[in-house]
Chain A
Amino acid sequence: MSEHLPILQVVLPLLAAPLCVLLRQGGLVRWFASAVAWVTFAIAVVLLRATLGGAELSYAIGDWAPPIGIEYRVNLPSAFVAAVVAAIAAVVLTFDSRGSATRLAMRRRYLFYAAYLLCLAGLLGMAISGDAFNVFVFLEISSLATYSLVSIGKERRALMSAFSYLIMGTLGGTFFLLGVGMLYVQTGTLNMADLAQRLDAVSGTRTVSLGFALIVIGLSIKLAVFPLHQWLPNAYTYAPPKAAAFLAGTATKVSYWVLVRFVFLVFGASYAFDQMRLDLLLMPLSLLAMFVGALAAAYQRDLRRLLAYSSISQVGYMTLGFSFANREGLTAGLVHMLNHGLAKSALFLAVACIAYRAGTTDISALRGIGRRMPFTSLAFVIGGMSLVGVPGTAGFITKWHLVLAAFDRGLPAVGFAVLLSSLLAVAYVWRLVETAYFSSGDDGGRAGGGSPGGEPRAAVLEAPLGMLLPMTVLMAATVVFGLWTRYSAGIAGDAAAFLLGVAP
């Protein structure tokens, strides 16, 4: 039984998705989907424990031996990514989203849960599959589910957002497929470990260079690397709150891991960084993303859009760590998948709570929200502090490793740029703090027109427990992983050592 866990992790949500459609009854489906997500998370934790010592599990699908058959490879970094994704998926799925859908959508919400589980299955498959073409298939499964999740959003703009995301995402996926084709034509294999061995002999050819470029561009679109990020702000803004929280915490992270995996475990760091000079491209783009994303976030009027632009800046930190190609940098990049995923998911859930009670996510209409929803506002501030990188929150751990990595590489200017960009993050987080706590709630009652009953101003009215609890769990994790890093930065450090092929 336990040797089948790698495949069960992916197949369980994949099979549960059609069952959701058969069950149909909204409330029942919600509990069923949550249970499936939690069991998936439990499997992910068991697999992570099995790989902690540096072991690598290989699973041959249908008992067809690799490299001919499809192989799943669970190693420390891939198990870590899968555990992060499954954890965020499970917690967010437990969130009792209210008032976020039209009546018609409420009646058909079993379809939402089916798409959600399909997306989870796709992301987990991408994380652990050791076959290049299989990664493409799972990438498209998760993407297709994502497009439909975004299109369910309440406002009609969700439709155009989903459509543009579909076009960009499919372009990215097809570029990736082209790149895999280039590698196949040169080596005759699709298995990643096998590719890594055979690529050495042909790494000088133009075909392999083209394959490398296509794969990097394709994944960069899915990852929202700076100039390829246009699909992201609209998609995260107009998606249903639960979907936004899930996607913002996981989707770009898994694409990041696939990129890291291809660069370090298929092409090899020396090919990517010494021969192709990927760092010369990625480092300036990451720095630009950090500043442009944070600046754009500071000018947004909608809280959800502010968080979406902040994601672009945070992706910049992940790719910056990767572009250093040293152990500290890679540790920062990998641990930021967890740190940013937790904080951003929690923040989107907090916005969902605010939207439910205040009836708006327009920042100017949220004056005095800190007095009306003290707990949610506090949670938002803690999440914001993690985005800034205040010591004691998870974001600090990432920035610490990033700055160390910059100095390791002899690029202190880049280290200072990281610190400077944190100041910009203060600017956008401060905007909500100011509105929530330091401006009078005079028009609080009027602005909160969507709230039930139009309560008197400054009366405390928190979101219901079913909404607060999952948000609190994620936010608490942000603080815990800011203070205790054995299972965040510790694992990421070992994973980075594994990827670089050095002793942990």
Chain B
Amino acid sequence: MSAPAMGGHWVTWMIVLVLLIGLYTLIAHDNLIKKIMGLNIFQSAVVLLYVSMGTVTGGTPPVLLEPTAGVTEPVLYSNPVPHVLMLTAIVVGVAITALALAIVVRIQGAYGTIEEDEIGAIEMRHDEAQSRA
């Protein structure tokens, strides 16, 4: 499939694909670690989208040039703002992943498993035992 066949937005289409892979992983898997991975892929797609928004065709990285570099004509550079926003978003993503993993460690300690369906079954048995008592 060539780029023009996708309306020239092939980068965006690829990002949508990554986004959907993340969302699917998040929904389809019972394993809590895989769910976290899905969430990370989903967030990465958003990071990619922002970074691609800031790109200017033919632009250089947004770095301030030394006056001694001998550049006199104006330089076309990419928009740095989305990049900076994504630095913050990545930090947020790392914090969320860390917290999620910490909770999974405690879930493993409390239930002995990190499969969502098995945890559900344990709780169901627990409820039945309680209502009999």
Binding site for B on A (CB under 8 A): 133, 136-137, 140, 144, 147-148, 151, 156-157, 159-160, 162-163, 166-167, 170-171, 174, 177-178, 181, 184-185
Contact = CB atoms under 8 A, between A and B. Distances in A.
Contact of A171 (B42, B50, B85): B42
Interface of B: 26, 32, 35, 39, 42-43, 46, 49-50, 53, 82, 85, 88-89, 92, 95-96, 99-100, 103-104, 106-107, 110-111, 116, 119, 123
A184 B104 contact: no
22 contacts: A133-B88, A136-B89, A140-B96, A144-B95, A144-B99, A151-B103, A151-B106, A157-B123, A159-B103, A159-B107, A163-B100, A163-B103, A167-B26, A167-B35, A170-B43, A171-B26, A171-B42, A174-B43, A177-B46, A177-B89, A178-B49, A181-B46
Contact of A166 (B42, B92, B100): B100
A63 to B, nearest CB: 19
A163 B42 contact: no
B119 A170 contact: no
A166 B82 CA distance: 25
A174 B50 CA distance: 12
A29 B85 CA distance: 34
Contacts of B49: 178, 181
Contacts of B100: 163, 166-167
Q: Shortest 9 CB-CB distances between A and B: which pairs? A: A156-B110, A140-B92, A185-B53, A159-B107, A163-B103, A151-B103, A159-B106, A170-B96, A166-B100
B103 A170 contact: no
A147 B99 contact: yes
Contact of B88 (A137, A157, A166): A137
A284 B92 CA distance: 35
Contacts of A174: 42-43, 46
B22 to A, nearest CB: 9
A144 B110 contact: no
Contacts of A163: 32, 100, 103-104, 107
Contacts of B111: 156
Given A147-B103, A166-B96, A184-B53, 14 more contacts: A133-B88, A137-B92, A140-B95, A144-B99, A151-B103, A156-B111, A159-B106, A160-B119, A163-B32, A163-B100, A163-B104, A170-B96, A171-B42, A177-B89
Contacts of A144: 95-96, 99
B125 to A, nearest CB: 14
A283 B53 CA distance: 35
A503 B123 CA distance: 56
A174 B42 CA distance: 8
B103 to A, nearest CB: 5
Contacts of B123: 157, 160
Contacts of B26: 167, 171
A133 B89 CA distance: 10
Contacts of A181: 46, 49-50, 53, 82
A162 B119 CA distance: 14
Contacts of A177: 46, 89
A178 B123 CA distance: 36
Nearest to A185: B53
Nearest to B114: A163
A59 B116 CA distance: 46
Contacts of B35: 167
A178 B43 CA distance: 10
A166 B110 contact: no
Contacts of A137: 88, 92
A181 B47 CA distance: 10
Contacts of B43: 170, 174
B126 to A, nearest CB: 9
